[in-house]
A and B are shown apart, each in its own frame.
Chain A
């Protein structure tokens, strides 16, 4: 086992070794129980334990808990550790509590008292531990108890940097629990001015708090905009030797830059022309840097740089006001589309989706259609292919709809099952939105059913029927096409439903051709009958009764089917009822009763067929 240094608790290390050496689960449990008994007796014992021992045993208990075993004692001893003056003892006490104590524990009052003591300590390390504990637990009681004190600590001139960092995030945690603890007015200006702090760690922590406050009340905190822009500007134009501690692989303060760019996405473009100009400069600088030769070949450098770049592009898209920046952003993303790293191709596809919806950049995005289609066909990570689908959908308009829908249908043939339903919806929406020629629309939907029938929801095929009913120019085509589709050996049930409805309404339009005569249509439909679920069979029966009206010459054949035992005596009530009623209707001589309007008008919605 690794050497135990300094304060390393030898007893703990031995115990951990023992556990690791256990050959079986039973042995492990035995060893744990032995230790638990030992610790229990030590805690109950006559001799009071010194801080070191308490720390060691509490730490052992914590270890046992983290292994997955319940601990029902030791909490009091952990709370006792909080009053120790020794860092290592306090730390273990706070850790045990953060991991094990729930908000309604009866010891909470004691814990809160200890925290209060540490918060007002002269020792910043103790203050820090207390703040971290509050941030880790963040209960309502803590918010109520400490809600007024933390902001004071945060903005006080006497608070040192590392404590401020913790105070900012501690306050954020409490704010999320109880938003009222930071009322407007009092603290606003001073919290916002944390963006100007000379310690970048404080700014890094504070920007998260400010972002949350802005989201709740953007007007109150709008003073942060100019400060954020000027801070961002200073970072982005800094040379990498300026920000010594905060430069990561030659990128100046990447996380802070990213957070500032996010903060600005809570607002529209800055009103003040000076601020706006400065921001635009920043964004241009970031875009420029992306084009410069990299200062390092390491992936960390490029990831950090690109993290900032993608966030900058997000801001550009959000502002949607600088066509030049939007187009540059789009071009940059276009380059990433063919990058050798999958991460970047994924993120570029995702980002471009947003660009596609902006009128300034929509055309620029369309130029990449071919690359995106290639991605759809060749990417090995399904999530990347999904982003490609999303992007094709977003970039679709009437100039490229046919191509894009065609590519999506192609892809659908081999697409992952997990994304089929969404793709089907997307294709159906695009086809309807951009159809100028409705025969194309009918083809697309029928193809959808053929390729991915299981994933075609009812809404989709109801819609195609509704459209066919409302468009005379496509009715004959629809009848012909479904008729042909039915002839395929394996025909999806949704196809049968659509065909049944359409032939029931418009079968007469193709009945003149011998190959699709009434009898042929009827037989074709009926050949599928026994393969279908009850709901579909009910629909077919309705089609048959419509046929009786459209094609009196096959009335007898249809009546035979209606009369058959499997229908008249069907265990499905709906089928029995329809068979009976339709049979009766068919036996009434008058054709008025079976007038198409009467039969289908009463229940025009396909669902009621």
Chain B
């Protein structure tokens, strides 16, 4: 299952943190710092997978943002790598060429996107068409 999802910029600022297991605030902060330290030293010659405590992180960098999904060791790496990409494509469509600022100013909406595609630490919906349709419905409501 997914343990957490993080979007961080290169400087280490968190743009989204979604947790699927219970950590207290101090632990969360520590994890965020550790993840940042671990992914920012990697480059093109490395894989997109990193062992992390007794889990693993599947990550990909998009411009200045690192999208990280922390999953169990036995989970399927490529499936989650593409789950990230699927999510990014939805954000891109939803925000019309998404940029970091969109995620900052509309942070509360990003959670809606996450909850459409992931829930309880698992993948909920994979069809971009369906997700976007639902998000547009939400946008149209008061």
Q: In the complex the two chains form, is B101's CB within 8 Å of A255's CB?
A: no
B79 within 8 A of partner (CB): yes
Known A125-B138, A254-B79; contact A205-B124, beta-carbon cutoff 8 A: yes
Which residues of A are found within 8 Å of B62, using beta-carbon distances?
Answer: none
Q: In the complex the two chains form, is B76's CB within 8 Å of A310's CB?
A: yes
Which residues of A are found within 8 Å of B122, using beta-carbon distances?
Answer: 169, 172, 205, 208
Interface 1/0s, chain B 108-121, versus A by CB < 8 A?
Answer: 10011001000111
Q: In the complex the two chains form, is A162's CB within 8 Å of B134's CB?
A: yes
B81 within 8 A of partner (CB): yes
Q: How far is the CB of A131 from chain B (nearest CB, A)?
A: 8
Q: How far is the CB of B111 from chain A (nearest CB, A)?
A: 6
Q: In the complex the two chains form, is A245's CB within 8 Å of B127's CB?
A: yes
Known A138-B120, A162-B134, A170-B119; contact A13-B105, beta-carbon cutoff 8 A: yes
Which residues of A are found within 8 Å of B86, using beta-carbon distances?
Answer: 248
Which residues of A are found within 8 Å of B82, using beta-carbon distances?
Answer: 248, 254-255, 300, 303-304, 307
- Which A residues, 364 to 400, have Cβ-Cβ distances below 8 Å to chain B? 380-381, 383-384
Interface 1/0s, chain A 1-28, versus B by CB < 8 A?
Answer: 1100011100001001000100000000
Q: In the complex the two chains form, is B78's CB within 8 Å of A303's CB?
A: yes
Which residues of B are found within 8 Å of A208, using beta-carbon distances?
Answer: 120, 122-123
Known A162-B134, A169-B124, A304-B82; contact A381-B47, beta-carbon cutoff 8 A: yes
Summed over the interface, the residue pairs from A and B with CB atoms below 8 Å come to a total of: 146
- Which B residues, 87 to 137, have Cβ-Cβ distances below 8 Å to chain A? 101-102, 104-108, 111-112, 115, 119-127, 129-130, 134, 137
Which residues of A are found within 8 Å of B63, using beta-carbon distances?
Answer: none
Which residues of B are found within 8 Å of A258, using beta-carbon distances?
Answer: 76, 79
Q: In the complex the two chains form, is A1's CB within 8 Å of B119's CB?
A: no
Most B CB within 10 A of own CB, among A63, A255, A346: A255
Known A162-B134, A300-B82, A304-B78; contact A383-B47, beta-carbon cutoff 8 A: yes
Which residues of B are found within 8 Å of A383, using beta-carbon distances?
Answer: 46-47, 49-51
Q: How far is the CB of B20 from chain A (nearest CB, A)?
A: 9
Which residues of B are found within 8 Å of A253, using beta-carbon distances?
Answer: 126
Interface 1/0s, chain A 293-313, versus B by CB < 8 A?
Answer: 000000010011011001100
Q: How far is the CB of B76 from chain A (nearest CB, A)?
A: 6
Q: In the complex the two chains form, is B79's CB within 8 Å of A307's CB?
A: yes
A516 within 8 A of partner (CB): no
Q: Which of B48, B50, B51, B79 contacts A255 (CB 8 A)?
A: B79
Of A34-42, A84-92, A504-512, A594-602, which binds chain B? A84-92
Which residues of B are found within 8 Å of A384, using beta-carbon distances?
Answer: 47
B139 within 8 A of partner (CB): yes
A576 within 8 A of partner (CB): no
How many chain B residues touch A (CB < 8 A): the figure is 46
Q: In the complex the two chains form, is A63's CB within 8 Å of B47's CB?
A: no
A275 within 8 A of partner (CB): no
- Which A residues, 160 to 184, have Cβ-Cβ distances below 8 Å to chain B? 162, 165-166, 169-170, 172-173, 176
B31 within 8 A of partner (CB): no
Which residues of B are found within 8 Å of A256, using beta-carbon distances?
Answer: 126
Q: In the complex the two chains form, is A166's CB within 8 Å of B119's CB?
A: yes
Q: Which of B29, B51, B119 contacts A169 (CB 8 A)?
A: B119
Q: In the complex the two chains form, is B47's CB within 8 Å of A7's CB?
A: no
A201 within 8 A of partner (CB): yes
Complex CA–CA separation, A166 to B115 (angstroms): 9
Known A169-B119, A381-B46; contact A92-B78, beta-carbon cutoff 8 A: no
Q: Which of A13, A95, A204, A303 contacts B126 (CB 8 A)?
A: A204
Complex CA–CA separation, A162 to B138 (angstroms): 13
A135 within 8 A of partner (CB): yes
Q: In this complex, what residue of A is CB-closest to B122?
A: A208
A192 within 8 A of partner (CB): no
A593 within 8 A of partner (CB): no
Q: In the complex the two chains form, is A346's CB within 8 Å of B79's CB?
A: no
Complex CA–CA separation, A203 to B25 (angstroms): 35
Q: Which of B104, B129, B134, B142 contacts A245 (CB 8 A)?
A: B129
Q: In this complex, what residue of B is CB-closest to A258?
A: B79
Q: In the complex the two chains form, is B48's CB within 8 Å of A343's CB?
A: yes
Which residues of A are found within 8 Å of B129, using beta-carbon distances?
Answer: 244-245
- Which A residues, 116 to 170, have Cβ-Cβ distances below 8 Å to chain B? 125, 132, 135-136, 138, 162, 165-166, 169-170
Q: How far is the CB of A497 from chain B (nearest CB, A)?
A: 33
Which residues of A are found within 8 Å of B105, using beta-carbon distances?
Answer: 1-2, 8, 13, 16
Q: In the complex the two chains form, is B78's CB within 8 Å of A306's CB?
A: yes
Complex CA–CA separation, A205 to B101 (angstroms): 31
Q: In the complex the two chains form, is A88's CB within 8 Å of B124's CB?
A: no
- Which B residues, 10 to 38, have Cβ-Cβ distances below 8 Å to chain A? 14, 17, 29
Complex CA–CA separation, A413 to B18 (angstroms): 43
Q: In the complex the two chains form, is B119's CB within 8 Å of A2's CB?
A: no
Complex CA–CA separation, A248 to B126 (angstroms): 9
Which residues of B are found within 8 Å of A205, using beta-carbon distances?
Answer: 119, 122-125
Q: How far is the CB of A5 from chain B (nearest CB, A)?
A: 8
Known A300-B82, A303-B78, A343-B49; contact A132-B119, beta-carbon cutoff 8 A: yes
A200 within 8 A of partner (CB): yes
20 A/B residue pairs, CB under 8 Å, sorted by A: A1-B105, A16-B104, A20-B104, A66-B107, A87-B142, A91-B138, A165-B124, A169-B119, A169-B122, A169-B124, A170-B119, A172-B120, A176-B120, A205-B124, A253-B126, A256-B126, A307-B77, A307-B82, A310-B78, A381-B45
Other than the given A172-B122, A208-B120, A383-B50, 17 more pairs (CB < 8 A) read A8-B105, A86-B141, A87-B141, A135-B120, A201-B126, A201-B127, A204-B125, A208-B122, A245-B127, A248-B82, A256-B126, A258-B79, A262-B76, A311-B79, A342-B45, A380-B45, A383-B51
